[in-house]
Structure 1
């Protein structure tokens, strides 16, 4: 029972949207603390998200840990306090604290009921710059609504990176995409055609790699994201912002184990996998299991723009999207004429555009 609870908690940590899953009402267990924390050398607030797994295993949903005292110390006993900015979410003040490469940090959490948790000391390794981000026109199979396997064409983005030194590098990547588009239809009296922008990030995907076993710290053709031509993302202009984090070997091992469980978890009715050891513990009770990881990483980023003229027309046809918007169709949705009516859309041009 305890192992199943731990497994569910780890899955909670990795997903940005939570799926409800019904389990036997007789299954229950003690709530476990889940810590989701990353600090970097970027000049920005750092956040720590604290929650508990549900005591009943009927769902993956947990409860936020509110009212905790949360702070970070370095090896010189300097302390950075964090304030609760949302339910269970605590943030640093960027005017008073910024991570530094080479320093070692420890996270402390004191709950309202007096329990004290701490991380193992984590050092911040130096991250090399991203050499290049590029794309290639590729296809990947997908299953149609009638069960037929078809090819979906699009741009597969890759990156090259590494210090080139004779040492092992450990990396993790995240990315944010932003794209510009317009609605495909106009009315006879329409004078203004809005230009729209949408942004999004990856979910449910953990992208890590290391140069362990290689002669030098060099990574080439690391897959980042795939953008299909069939959608509207490549209609006018597309931006991909990639963030690269340098990990310690301990942090990489943790995320690698999580990745393996993601790929091999299978059915919830299969024997649960073993708990993944993190770097958080109860100071006064080493028997208590704490889920999650306090990640300390230096970070670098690079942005790649793609214009429509750079996207090959074939195979896969030209990009554009809005296949549901047909000229002359009296039942065409309003957003077919005004893209700003789509949820999550803005007409304000991004500052980096």
Structure 2
């Protein structure tokens, strides 16, 4: 079978012409828009729901609007079981992690309701969780390449990860993939130096902590596809991750967890438009501007724009470990004369799986 990536590129014009309904964004620049997102999965939870309001034109999502504080957020399934989520942080609500909380299951149907303090009620359309096949294997390919920076060519080597899975026959399936990486770093805080403010010279300021950290890496482009080009077949070439190989990321080893999500057709349409909008290059071939249409609405004012999606996805996962011994020309050992905790997304807590 040809690479799924190649089939996907051949089908791209058909996908771009699909039946995704854009939302008209003709509205005042200063008008706030409700944004709600969340997902229930087959993982045990807790599940998180994010609620905020922002301007549709460059609003700052890091500032949580007071209107969404202390909202009543509930998830209900088709059996009538309801769980009210607790406010974890302002604008962030989470379910219980124990057996009393709502649980995601294949075939279950879920609805989200958000009631703000001012009485506005937002609800998602019912979402039924499809099944997802297992990931049979994840393969890594080491790719050597360079990039031009000024007049210099610099190494930009990477691992490209592709998965193998068997798509169920006789039914339409929609998929999304993402991944999380964790790698270990060893730094040299005892060699730390600072510029003396009086003399302007670098002086030794050794630090007693810390030398060993684990860094979380999860920068993911949106990756979605439907199975109409490979229905019922073995998929062997779907690229799901690109892992940079340099002194920091592969000084010791790198653990990658690849996740495969089942999607409903409406969730696929939403994520497909999101992928098109976030991958624009400024080319004349870019798709025209459109806002991904979610499944949330104001109960009392269906014409109000609401951005976001509440989904229900089954998850399968596969873990692969990358080592320096997998690289023909390993990068140098990481040379960083500071506390390893200053590296973004780092922790000194050794992961349970390490």
Tell me how far 1:320 sits from its aligned partner: 3.3
Query: Would the alpha carbon gap of residues 132 and 299 (structure 1) be closer, same or farther in structure 2, given more than 3 Å must change?
Result: same
* 2:321 equivalent to 1:319: no
SS in 2 for 1:130: coil
Q: Normalising by the residue count of structure 2, what TM-score does the alignment of the two structures yield?
A: 0.78
The whole-number CA distance in structure 2 between the counterparts of 1:84 and 1:238 is 34
Matches within 5 A, 1:233-244: 233-244=249-260
Q: Which residue does 1:230 correspond to in 2?
A: 246
Tell me how far 1:158 sits from its aligned partner: 1.4
Q: CA RMSD in A?
A: 3.1
Matches within 5 A, 1:114-133: 114-133=119-138
Give the paired residue count: 311
SS in 2 for 1:175: strand
Contact 1:3/1:273 (8 A) holds in 2: no
Q: Which residue does 1:259 correspond to in 2?
A: 275
Query: Would the alpha carbon gap of residues 88 and 211 (structure 1) be closer, same or farther in structure 2, given more than 3 Å must change?
Result: same
Contact 1:130/1:244 (8 A) holds in 2: yes
The whole-number CA distance in structure 1 between the counterparts of 2:167 and 2:91 is 37
Query: Would the alpha carbon gap of residues 140 and 208 (structure 1) be closer, same or farther in structure 2, given more than 3 Å must change?
Result: farther
SS in 1 for 2:275: helix
Contact 2:86/2:95 (8 A) holds in 1: yes
The whole-number CA distance in structure 2 between the counterparts of 1:185 and 1:111 is 48
Q: Which residue does 1:110 correspond to in 2?
A: 115
Q: Deviations over 1:22-45 (max 9, x none)?
A: xxxxx6332111011111011110
Q: Deviations over 1:57-103 (max 9, x none)?
A: 46444534211111011112221111111000111112222111111
Q: Deviations over 1:286-331 (max 9, x none)?
A: 1111111011101122211122212222xxxx22354xx4xxxxxx
Q: Which residue does 1:297 correspond to in 2?
A: 313
SS in 1 for 2:157: strand
Unaligned runs of 5+ in 1: 7-26, 326-332
Q: Which residue does 2:204 correspond to in 1?
A: none
Query: Would the alpha carbon gap of residues 254 and 142 (structure 1) be closer, same or farther in structure 2, given more than 3 Å must change?
Result: same
Contact 1:5/1:29 (8 A) holds in 2: no
Q: Normalising by the residue count of structure 1, what TM-score does the alignment of the two structures yield?
A: 0.78
Q: Deviations over 1:143-197 (max 9, x none)?
A: 41x166655222111111233423332111221111123237987xx99994432
Unaligned runs of 5+ in 2: 1-22, 192-206
The whole-number CA distance in structure 2 between the counterparts of 1:307 and 1:298 is 30
Contact 2:273/2:291 (8 A) holds in 1: no
Query: Would the alpha carbon gap of residues 274 and 191 (structure 1) be closer, same or farther in structure 2, given more than 3 Å must change?
Result: closer
Which of residues 201, 204, 218 is equivalent to 1:201?
A: 218
Which of residues 88, 91, 97 is equivalent to 1:94?
A: 97
Query: Would the alpha carbon gap of residues 274 and 238 (structure 1) be closer, same or farther in structure 2, given more than 3 Å must change?
Result: closer
Tell me how far 1:200 sits from its aligned partner: 2.0
The whole-number CA distance in structure 1 between the counterparts of 2:210 and 2:304 is 59
Q: Which residue does 1:44 correspond to in 2?
A: 45
Q: Deviations over 1:243-270 (max 9, x none)?
A: 2111111111111111112233849xx9
The whole-number CA distance in structure 2 between the counterparts of 1:301 and 1:247 is 15
The whole-number CA distance in structure 2 between the counterparts of 1:193 and 1:294 is 40
Contact 1:211/1:218 (8 A) holds in 2: no
The whole-number CA distance in structure 2 between the counterparts of 1:342 and 1:71 is 37
Which of residues 266, 279, 284 is equivalent to 2:300?
A: 284
The whole-number CA distance in structure 1 between the counterparts of 2:209 and 2:299 is 62
The whole-number CA distance in structure 2 between the counterparts of 1:209 and 1:266 is 23
Q: Which moved more, 1:255-264 or 1:283-292?
A: 255-264
The whole-number CA distance in structure 1 between the counterparts of 2:42 and 2:229 is 28
Query: Would the alpha carbon gap of residues 59 and 147 (structure 1) be closer, same or farther in structure 2, given more than 3 Å must change?
Result: farther
Query: Would the alpha carbon gap of residues 310 and 276 (structure 1) be closer, same or farther in structure 2, given more than 3 Å must change?
Result: closer
